[in-house]
Structure 1
Amino acid sequence: MGMLLGRGPGVKDRTTRSAEGGWTCRGRAPRVFPMRIARLPIPVAIAAVSLALGAQPAAAADPWAPGPVSTVGKLIWDAGGGRLGLCSGAVVEAPNGSVVATAAHCVRSQEAPEPPDEVWFVPGYDHGIDSYREDGWRVAAFHTPEGWDVTRATTEILPHDYAFLTVGEKEGRTLQEAHGANRLAFEPVEEGAEVAVLGYPAAGPYDGESLHHCAGLTDVLTEGEAQRPNLGGLMLEGCDLTAGSSGGPWVREWAADGQSGTVVAVMSVGSGEGMVVGRPFPDEARDLLATAGA
């Protein structure tokens, strides 16, 4: 079964083989789909062209109608060769007021086992590629679970595809003081609850410059419904969020102002055929969050 890593404009597909590299869908004959995960590097020139053309997204992942969300943002770093690496993330409550939740594969991968040298989190990002350093908060520390061991096959470590980032302060203020924060819920995640999946998809037909979302009911994948790499994950059908949305929050229970809610998972993988899987936070993630938020 093929797993495509780093699929996106200007990036060649890199495929690894695995007997367990897919997942099956509830309520239908078992099918196995390729899983695609991406820290998406895109040429800066392509991002600029997409912005100028104003490419319209597909209906399956709609623009977030209220506009930018102050506690949801975009991770951006220099990927070399005139390219930028892109992921999504969300501010979560922490004692130090400086923690962002995202996907572990946005931080470390087989191809890049160490985090990038300089990563910026831009809360409420909206068409701001030219000023991401000025608008962003620089990541000071990266926290991935022990289970995210990139020397092992991705299919073995996928259940640990979550991470926390600690960002520095700006002008004497923390990220949480300046932009607010989401609550974070640990497993178990309630089955059949309304959830919104947010992120900045940057592979076609999207340009990564505005916030998009899918919405539906939480579907917790259990034994017999999914192959091992995705057990415990949350599945959502009818969602074509593409690379660049990795690490984006799965949010429930929005506050009245629409700027924060409860994050129950982060975007992990997609089938490429309208099905995505979010990775919830297991109980052992509490210690990792405590370290990031100290």
Structure 2
Amino acid sequence: MRLTRPLAALTVAAALLAFAAPPASAARPWREGPVATVGKLIWETAGGRLGLCSGAVVDAPNGSVVATAAHCVRNATSPEPPDEVWFVPGYHHGRDSYREDGWPVTGFHTPAGWDVARETAQILPHDYAFLTLGRRDGRTVQEVSGANRLAFEPVPEGGRVAVLGYPAVSPYDGETLHYCAGETNVLSADEAEAPNVGGLLLSGCDLTAGSSGGPWLTGYDPASESGTLVAVMSVGSGDGHVVGRPFPEAARALFAAASGG
């Protein structure tokens, strides 16, 4: 199978997988509706259209950090972050009120390895980012919505994982939260080419553009609407295979910069 592009509809180099992974559930609406700790990133593009990605609040000292994909922040055609980005936790049919409902992004933190001047295949292992948010009415996003625990590598094999996001390409409209579920499969050198080694694979998952940056959660608790975030949505094959990027040990410093810790 060929993973050809990040789910935000960006062109990237091909990354091959040697064989299909065990099947996972196809994307379907999250049964409880919106999740307080998961949301949508929205910004206005130069052409006047809305840019869309997904993200999740993570527990941080400043209460104001969202994890997402690096390609949502910087890419070859837009090497600098958008001027104004908003994160809307628990988003549900709120396209017309995202500024009123959301928290403004005040800081963008991508790893040094995410150098968009290089070939995408060379930088895909670094497709994760942390965003710092401002306060709204004097309150942090974590005070209002709660947060997910953030886990760093290694990610255990075989645990159940739920992959959440806001797919915005047909048959989806980006207005409701969808998910896939399955077991974590950490890709080895025998299963994938270098850009995806160490990534997490789910098959049978048709999440589309807009779900980029969405959380891969283990141990989800319906009461707190949170779990442990082990990766963010990175790339898809276009035929039902998606890869999440876990956080290496080197990401701890990046997280500290975003969280004021």
What's the % identity of the aligned pairs? Answer: 67
Q: How many residues align?
A: 256
Uncovered stretches (5+) of structure 1, i.e. residues with no partner: 9-13, 29-58
1:165 to 131, 134, 147: 131
Asked if 1:22 corresponds to 2:15, the answer is yes
Partner of 1:67: 33
- Assess if the C-alpha contact under 8 Å between 1:69 and 1:258 holds in 2: no
Partner of 1:252: 218
Note the C-alpha offset of 1:254: 1.4
- Assess if the C-alpha contact under 8 Å between 1:2 and 1:15 holds in 2: no
Q: Distance in 2 between matches of 1:223 and 1:2?
A: 15
Relative distance call for 1:162 and 1:7 in structure 2 (3 A) is closer
Q: Matches of residues 73-88 of structure 1 in structure 2 within 5 Å?
A: 73-88=39-54
Q: Matches of residues 137-286 of structure 1 in structure 2 within 5 Å?
A: 137-257=103-223, 259-286=225-252
Asked if 1:93 corresponds to 2:96, the answer is no
The residue type equivalent to 1:261 in the other structure is G
Say which is worse superposed, 253-262 or 143-152, in terms of deviation: 253-262
- Assess if the C-alpha contact under 8 Å between 2:70 and 2:129 holds in 1: yes
Per-residue Cα deviation, 1:12-62 (whole angstroms, up to 9, x for no partner): xx756x5xx22214468xxxxxxxxxxxxxxxxxxxxxxxxxxxxxx8210
2:83 to 78, 92, 117: 117
Note the C-alpha offset of 1:171: 1.0
Q: Distance in 2 between matches of 1:5 and 1:277?
A: 9
Q: Which runs of 4+ in 1 moved over 6 A?
A: none
Per-residue Cα deviation, 1:198-222 (whole angstroms, up to 9, x for no partner): 0000011100000000000000001
Find the structure with the greater CA-based Rg.
1
Note the C-alpha offset of 1:182: 0.3
Per-residue Cα deviation, 1:99-156 (whole angstroms, up to 9, x for no partner): 0000000000000000000000000000000000000100000000000001100000
Root-mean-square deviation over aligned CA pairs: 1.8
Q: Secondary structure at the match of 2:242?
A: strand
The residue type equivalent to 1:93 in the other structure is D
Q: Secondary structure at the match of 1:241?
A: coil
1:130 to 74, 91, 96: 96
The TM-score, its normalising length taken from structure 1, stands at 0.84
Q: Secondary structure at the match of 1:88?
A: strand
Relative distance call for 1:183 and 1:15 in structure 2 (3 A) is closer
The residue type equivalent to 1:114 in the other structure is E
